[in-house]
Chains A and B, each alone.
Chain A
Amino acid sequence: MDQFVLAAAEAEEHSPLMPILSEVVLALIVFGILFFIVRSKIVPMFEKAYAERTAAIEGGLQAAETKQAEADAKMAELEKQLGDARHEAARIREDAREQGAAIIAEMREQAQTEAARIVDHAHTQIEAERQQAVTSLRAEVGSLATSLAGRIVGESLDDDARQARVVERFLTDLEAQQGQSNAGAN
């Protein structure tokens, strides 16, 4: 071993700064091979892993974004539906109120018409009855007056007491007559 070292040392003084051609050529070839392997195999495979990883991450992000957008759309739709429903409810309430008011007005009008009709009817009836009463009263008063006059004429009309008595008796008769006719009518 030492002989080699010594032999090398004793060999012609080779400057370490002077490249040896065989080493230059060897390094060129060896590095060329390495470069070829790295270029054709190693870098593409690492880049493939990088690209796949980027795609996976971006895909995940994109999926999340899509989900978010979907959720937002759904939310908006629900809110819109809610608003519509509120609007609809308000509209229905308004309609009901209007309808109620209309019904009340109609009923009031009907009631007033009916009342007027009833009053009218009553008036007519009352009038008729009054007419009837007047007619019968007229006839009765006539006959009564005739009979009373007959009585009064039949009796002496000299004093007031007798006169009063006659009138009293007549009325009592009249009442009894009335009660009989009433009972008979009944």
Chain B
Amino acid sequence: MSVTGTIVAAAESGSDGFHAPGPASFDLPAIFHVGGLGVTKPMVLLLLSVVVISWFMIAASRKAAVVPGRLQFAGEAVYGFVRNTVARDTIGSEHFMKFVPYLFSLFMFIIVNNYYGIIPLLQFPSFSRIGFIVPLALASWLLFIGTGIWKHGALGYLKHATMPGGVGGPILVLLVPLEFISNILVRPFTLTLRLFGNMFAGHLLLILFATGGAYLLTSGNILYGGVGILSFGMGIAVSFLEMLVMFLQAYVFTLLSAMYIGEALAEEH
């Protein structure tokens, strides 16, 4: 809706100059209202992702066959990736199973909502809306802090997180606040901003190439038209790049959450 919508908009408004896409392109109007609250496309997409993930994963895991079918194999490939590569290898084989449901939900939720950005007609990465990321980052933050407190006790965890082993003396005055900021304070923000920034920028780039290409093609100038085609070509190239980024951001968010948990569980630095 957003890209196609803005392309049409750009093409129609060709006469009164080019409106470059900006942050406002992400503030979509409400599709309908429920009790005074406007329901926008990203909200619907977010709900849809839960339906899609649940449906696919339940269908894939329902049989739980020893010899998997094609669907179960696909589901197990994704589940095994999160379970073994992300959770077990970073948290350790002792405690990782407790965190697999969360990490798997997180990974699936982010990757499906990211790939909305390149699925025709949907074409909007939900996580270019920062509000959707906040609960996820907060959940990861609370989870790893809670894990640390469970493992070391409140004060023990504070010491574990802020005092690197083998360092003593006055340098701690400098180090402890720094460690506290980097290990506890900024993590939810970096988690949020990394995912948001990538999705926001990627989508903005796609809109720019699409609307810009459309504007140049309809400008009437043949040379501009050539550049417009180039712009569409760039848009396609960026789409492929985005496919990689969309996967990577889901992976990074999940991996970092797992690493924070693993760090909180670690015995020593």
**Which A residues have a C-beta under 8 Å from some C-beta of B?**
1-2, 4-9, 11, 14-24, 26-28, 30-31, 33-35, 37-39, 41-43, 45-49, 52-53, 56
Contacts and interface: CB of A to CB of B under 8 A. Distances in A.
B131 A24 contact: yes
A46 B134 contact: no
A8 B58 CA distance: 39
B212 to A, nearest CB: 15
B164 interface: no
B40 to A, nearest CB: 8
Interface of B: 5-6, 8-9, 12-13, 19, 22-29, 37, 42-43, 46-47, 49-50, 53-54, 57-58, 61-66, 68, 72, 75-76, 79, 83, 97, 100-102, 104-105, 108-109, 128-136, 139, 196, 200
Which of the listed residues A11, A34, A41, A52 has the most CB atoms from chain B within 10 Å of its own CB?
A34
Contacts of B57: 38, 42
B8 A27 contact: no
Contacts of A15: 23
A72 to B, nearest CB: 30
A23 B54 contact: no
A30 B110 CA distance: 12
Closest 8 CB pairs of A and B: A23-B131, A2-B9, A19-B131, A45-B61, A9-B24, A39-B101, A49-B64, A28-B135
B8 A19 contact: no
A151 to B, nearest CB: 140
B208 to A, nearest CB: 14
Contact of B108 (A19, A33, A34, A49): A34
Contact of A19 (B26, B75, B83, B134): B134
Given A9-B22, A26-B46, A35 B136 contact: no
A23 B64 contact: no
Contact of A14 (B27, B29, B49, B75): B27
6 contacts: A18-B130, A22-B37, A23-B43, A34-B50, A42-B79, A46-B61
B23 A16 contact: yes
A45 B62 contact: yes
Contacts of A28: 135
